[in-house]
């Protein structure tokens, strides 16, 4: 019964691994074919962006965008409802949109485009908003050591402010309003040219360095551009200020505004993308690593592909697949992980004791898991440093949980229902056999006949387990971790149930 159940679990794990490998290939090769309009109207597709901007959501968005461009659509509409997120990923998305020459890009905002999502919208050719939707507030904040969010250092703020200005200039929007989204200290007001009547937006910083300031008549600050506030406004107001192009009340109006086929297709998230998002969450990552390491130890304790090996392979396959999908891992991390396993196996089965190879293997193992969760190896700013700290805490925490689980498993596995069959227990003699064994000790198992202090000879290499002959008795033994050659004299130094522990004399 136990063997059948084990085979069933092994077969299930193997099937799951095959599904994962197939999914990886399918995810990379899949391509959606979009319906072409029947009339002369342009074709369009909607790409949703309804979450924070992170490594995984950014990778999925870039993959969908590239797929849409390759399909030949005329207009790509980003359905944005996001609080923003990582600065580096935001910059990559902005560059992707700005560099798309053969397609019109549109930001469609029904609710909120905040922080990085606002900068991403600025990179689009058009911005369409519901009247009550909001866009702006792109100030750079970081998580401080005390656990509270704070304003980022000047270097990070300056870089984001310049990118906002450059992007707004490239798409024909007021650059100073874009910069005000990122800078709470500046004040924005209108000014009218005394000769031409041109009305422009200026900041107090620009006004102080303006060469022809005497030709402009300074007006009042705009209400969204005052001191100690990041610029943010609703759709109706943004159209007045020249940031947004037009407002809409329903999606049906989008086709008329853009002149596209009314049946606009949406690139809905696939089940693989949804599953990858789940696997990239902190707690799922924590459990994948802890369970994978625990199953790996079970496999190394009894080498040969078994349930432990397949469970471990399943856990780490899921981990690395989700990181491949997020664009944070490559084959280098997988190779380092595999090399760490080789080092640990050499330490356990080839090299006596536990030293440099074992410690190096653990470092490679944990280091590869941290690297697989990172987009950059060396942090360049506070945001990346905080991200590195989170990933290290997750991996080290999972390793500590694995050590606790290993301790409990080694001491209580025999008492856990369903797992007790995985342990070796001393045979229980029937009453008649017990009486016979009392009269004839030679009928007892070898571990019951030998005593602590007796000396024997190894008849096989002890790595660390093997066989020893004590007098006429053959017994299975284990060392304290040392490697012992065949033919070496050994002494029994302890007994733990059916486990006999020896040491070379």
Cα distance between residue 330 and residue 337, in whole Å: 11
For residues 326, 332, 333 and 335, what is the CA-based torsion angle, rounded to 10 degrees?
140
User: Using an 8 Å Cβ cutoff, are 316 and 288 in contact?
Assistant: yes
pLDDT band at residue 303, thresholds of 50, 70 and 90?
low
> Do 264 and 122 reside in the same domain of the chain?
yes
Res 231 pLDDT > 90: yes
Could you read off the pLDDT of 405-427 as tens digits, one per residue?
877 776 655 444 444 444 445 44
Name which of 428, 425, 488 is nearest 461 in CA terms.
488
Distance CA 207, CA 110 (A): 35
Provide the pLDDT for residue 239. 95
Residue 33, C-beta contacts closer than 8 angstroms, at least 6 positions apart: 71
- Does the pTM exceed 0.85? no
Each residue's pLDDT tens digit, 453-501 = 888 988 888 877 788 888 888 888 888 777 788 888 999 888 877 778 8
Among 210, 244, 269, the domain-final residue is: 269
Domain span holding position 437: 431-504
Q: 480 and 348 in one domain?
A: no
Q: Please report the sign of the dihedral spanned by the C-alpha atoms of residue 66, residue 69, residue 70, residue 73.
A: positive
Question: For residues 473 and 495, is the Cβ–Cβ distance under 8 A?
Answer: no
Same domain, 252 and 331: no
Alpha-carbon span 285 to 290, nearest angstrom: 9
280 falls within a domain? yes
Q: Which residues pair with 466 in a beta bridge?
A: 477
**Domains: count for the chain:** 3
Residue-averaged pLDDT of the chain: 80
- Does the pLDDT of residue 3 top 70, yes or no? no
The answer to whether residue 19 is domain-embedded is no
- Would you give the distance in Å from CA 54 to the centre of its chain? 9
Q: Are residues 307 and 453 in the same domain?
A: no
pLDDT in tens, 115-168: 999 999 999 999 999 999 999 998 887 655 555 556 666 666 788 999 999 999
The residue written with tokens 């149930």 in the block is: 497
* CATH number of the domain enclosing 143: 3.90.226.10
Is 283 strand, coil or helix? helix
d(CA 339, CA 361): 7
Is the distance from CB of 119 to CB of 107 less than 8 angstroms? no
71-82 average pLDDT score: 94
Q: Are residues 448 and 311 in the same domain?
A: no
296 vs 94 pLDDT, higher one = 94
The two three-digit tokens of residue 428, written as one number: 């229980």
Residue 426 placed within a domain: no
Give per-residue pLDDT as tens, 314-371: 999 999 988 887 777 788 888 999 898 888 878 777 665 556 877 888 889 888 888 8
Residues 257 and 316 in one domain: no
């Amino acid at each position: 019964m136990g063997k059948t159940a084990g085979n069933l679990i092994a077969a299930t794990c193997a099937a799951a691994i095959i599904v994962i490998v197939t999914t990886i290939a399918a995810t990379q090769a899949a391509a959606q074919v979009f319906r072409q309009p029947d009339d002369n109207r342009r074709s369009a597709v909607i790409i949703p962006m309804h979450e924070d901007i992170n490594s995984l959501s950014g990778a999925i968005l870039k993959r969908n965008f590239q797929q849409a461009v390759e399909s030949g659509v005329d207009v790509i509409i980003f359905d944005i409802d996001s609080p923003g997120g990582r600065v580096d990923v935001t910059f990559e998305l902005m560059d992707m949109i700005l560099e798309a020459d053969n397609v019109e890009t549109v930001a469609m905002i029904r609710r909120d485009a905040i922080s990085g999502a606002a900068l991403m919208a600025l990179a689009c050719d058009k911005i369409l908003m519901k009247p009550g939707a909001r866009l702006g507030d792109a100030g750079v904040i970081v998580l401080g050591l005390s656990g509270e969010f704070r304003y980022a250092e000047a270097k990070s703020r300056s870089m984001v402010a310049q990118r906002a200005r450059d992007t707004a200039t490239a798409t024909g929007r007021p650059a100073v309003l874009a910069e005000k989204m990122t800078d709470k200290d500046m004040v924005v007001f209108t000014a009218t040219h005394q000769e031409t009547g041109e009305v422009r937006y200026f900041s107090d910083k620009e006004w102080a360095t303006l060469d022809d300031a005497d030709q402009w008549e300074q007006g009042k600050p705009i209400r969204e551009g005052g001191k100690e506030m990041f610029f943010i406004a609703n759709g109706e107001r943004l159209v007045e200020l020249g940031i947004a192009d037009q407002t809409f009340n329903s999606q049906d109006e989008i086709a008329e505004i853009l002149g596209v086929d009314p049946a606009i297709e949406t690139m809905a998230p696939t089940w693989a993308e949804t599953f990858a998002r789940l696997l990239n969450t902190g707690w799922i990552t924590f459990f994948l690593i802890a369970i994978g390491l625990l199953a790996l130890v079970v496999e190394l304790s009894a080498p040969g592909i078994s349930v432990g090996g397949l469970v471990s392979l399943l856990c780490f396959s899921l981990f690395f697949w989700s990181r491949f999908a997020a664009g944070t891992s490559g084959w280098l991390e997988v190779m380092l992980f595999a090399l760490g396993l080789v080092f640990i196996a050499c330490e356990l089965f080839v090299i006596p004791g536990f030293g440099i190879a074992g410690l190096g293997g653990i470092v490679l193992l944990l280091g590869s898991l941290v690297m697989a969760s990172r987009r950059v190896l060396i942090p360049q700013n506070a945001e990346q440093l905080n991200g590195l700290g989170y990933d290290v805490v997750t991996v080290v925490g999972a390793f500590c949980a694995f050590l606790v689980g290993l301790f409990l498993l080694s001491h209580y596995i025999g008492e856990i229902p369903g797992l007790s069959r995985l342990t070796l227990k001393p045979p229980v003699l029937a009453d008649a056999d017990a009486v016979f064994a009392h009269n004839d000790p030679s009928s007892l198992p070898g571990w019951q006949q030998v005593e602590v202090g007796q000396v024997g000879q190894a008849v096989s290499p002890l790595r660390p387990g093997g066989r020893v002959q004590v007098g006429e008795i053959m017994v299975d033994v284990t060392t304290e971790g040392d490697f012992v050659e065949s033919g070496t004299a050994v002494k029994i130094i302890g007994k733990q149930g059916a486990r006999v522990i020896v040491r070379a004399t």
